[in-house]
């Protein structure tokens, strides 16, 4: 039976992947609720924009009357809350926006969802029974891992290190408290680092791809030995839909890619793929001359001062979602990263419009 998914932040990187998956591969309806800040890009949703099962509403999750009106208008079966400020460096430079969106916005959305759910209990008990509020969070709420063998589990204590991760930890606690206090049927997922097509170019992997293509320096924080678990965004989208539709109320599910890599190795691998697909020419060399063994995009790697509070290692134990819901990632780090590099090479128009800001002109109220 078709459901209506109410997706906040649906014009963002992960949100747009979820929407594409829902429209292309299910018969569900989607309401995309996005404020369209700098990270919201409707051009990531061109392939679904004309679907009769897709609706876009430009709105701020902090706007309580707007949220109430959208719930009443669209009568969703599932809320997937992805709207968030998510860039660590930006949170260090200006934390207030992160508190407003990630904490206040989540509280406003929870209250709108609770009022809607209570009305369903009176008017449509079966629909109320099936209603779900799925909050999408990050592994960064857990802080830093010691050693090389420890993994984040769903029981790991929270110890956020940045204003971004602290704001996400706050929103996680709010969601769980609404479930325990009011009975709102919630689920929480915490994911590792996502990557893939349509990723905003300020993030590590797209930044390195595009800088390398432009012959610009590839800035690596500190010594580049920080370890992250990398999750291909389309694998994540499938996991999120599975949790939203099959997960147990009140539960938390960690979602990881089983791909632990140092930041330096990620950058070096991107360089190796680009060396193969778009051979690097040293500035001033002839485009007709053969490459020497020293001509590599790796020459562009530059080590820069580490950022404050930089966690050394994140790693997800994703055994619970595999055991209970049967989800495992389809992409390895090698296959996913190659797909990502190839996508950026084939979609120059998309990322150039992000770089020059012209993508922001597409936003309209509907």
pLDDT in tens, 283-315: 555 544 444 444 899 999 999 988 787 778 888
CATH topology of domain 4-193+232-256+313-329: Rossmann fold (3.40.50)
Spatial contact of 185 and 133, defined as CB atoms under 8 Å apart = yes
Active-site residue set: 139-140, 164
What's the confidence (pLDDT) of residue 56? 98
Cα(234)–Cα(16) distance, rounded to whole angstroms?
Answer: 10
Domain ranges of the chain: 4-193+232-256+313-329
Q: What are phi and psi of 249, to 5 degrees?
A: -55, 135
pLDDT in tens, 38-89: 889 999 999 999 999 999 999 999 999 999 999 999 999 999 999 998 767 7
CB atoms within 10 A of CB 248: 12
In the three-class reduction of DSSP (H, G, I as helix; E, B as strand; rest coil), residue 229 is classed as strand
Half-sphere CA count of 349, side-chain side, radius 13 A: 3
Q: What is the DSSP string of 139-194?
A: GGGG----TTT--B-TTPPP---SHHHHHHHHHHHHHHHHHHHH---EEEEEE-EE
Q: Comparing C-alpha atoms, which of 316, 325, 326, 115 is closest to residue 228?
A: 316
Q: Comparing C-alpha atoms, which of 225, 228, 182, 170 is closest to residue 203?
A: 228
What's the confidence (pLDDT) of residue 147? 65
Cα(270)–Cα(292) distance, rounded to whole angstroms?
Answer: 19
User: Alpha carbon 288 to chain centroid distance?
Assistant: 42
């Amino acid at each position: 039976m078709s459901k209506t998914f109410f997706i906040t932040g649906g014009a963002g990187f992960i949100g747009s992947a979820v929407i594409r998956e829902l429209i292309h591969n299910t018969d569900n309806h989607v309401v995309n609720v996005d404020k369209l800040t700098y990270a919201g890009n409707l051009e990531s949703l061109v392939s679904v924009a004309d679907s009769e099962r897709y609706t876009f509403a430009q709105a701020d999750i902090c706007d309580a009357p707007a949220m109430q009106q959208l719930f009443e208008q669209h009568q969703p079966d599932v809320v997937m809350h992805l709207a968030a400020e998510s860039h660590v460096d930006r949170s260090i430079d200006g934390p207030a926006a992160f508190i407003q969106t990630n904490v206040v916005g989540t509280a406003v959305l929870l209250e709108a969802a609770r009022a809607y759910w209570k009305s369903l209990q009176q008017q449509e008990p079966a629909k109320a029974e099936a209603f779900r509020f799925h909050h999408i969070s990050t592994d960064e709420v857990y802080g830093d891992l010691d050693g090389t063998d420890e993994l984040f589990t769903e029981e790991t204590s929270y110890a956020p290190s940045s204003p971004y991760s602290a704001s996400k930890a706050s929103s996680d606690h709010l969601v769980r408290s609404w479930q325990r206090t009011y009975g709102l049927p919630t689920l929480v997922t915490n994911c590792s680092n996502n990557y893939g097509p349509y990723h905003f170019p300020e993030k590590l992997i797209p930044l390195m791809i595009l800088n390398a293509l432009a012959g610009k320096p590839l800035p690596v924080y500190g010594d580049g030995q920080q370890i992250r678990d990398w999750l291909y965004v389309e694998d994540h989208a499938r996991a999120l839909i599975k949790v939203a539709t099959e997960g147990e109320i009140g539960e938390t599910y960690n979602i990881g890619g089983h791909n632990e890599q140092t930041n330096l190795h990620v950058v070096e691998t991107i360089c190796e793929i680009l060396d193969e697909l778009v051979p690097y020419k040293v500035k001033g060399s002839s485009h007709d001359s053969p490459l020497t063994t020293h001509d590599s995009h790796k020459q562009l790697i530059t080590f820069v001062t580490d950022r404050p509070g930089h966690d050394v290692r994140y790693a997800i134990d994703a055994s619970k979602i595999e055991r209970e819901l049967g989800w495992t990632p389809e992409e390895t780090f090698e296959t996913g990263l190659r797909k990502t590099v190839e996508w950026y090479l084939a979609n120059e128009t998309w990322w150039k419009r992000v770089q020059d800001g012209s993508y922001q002109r597409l936003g309209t109220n509907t």
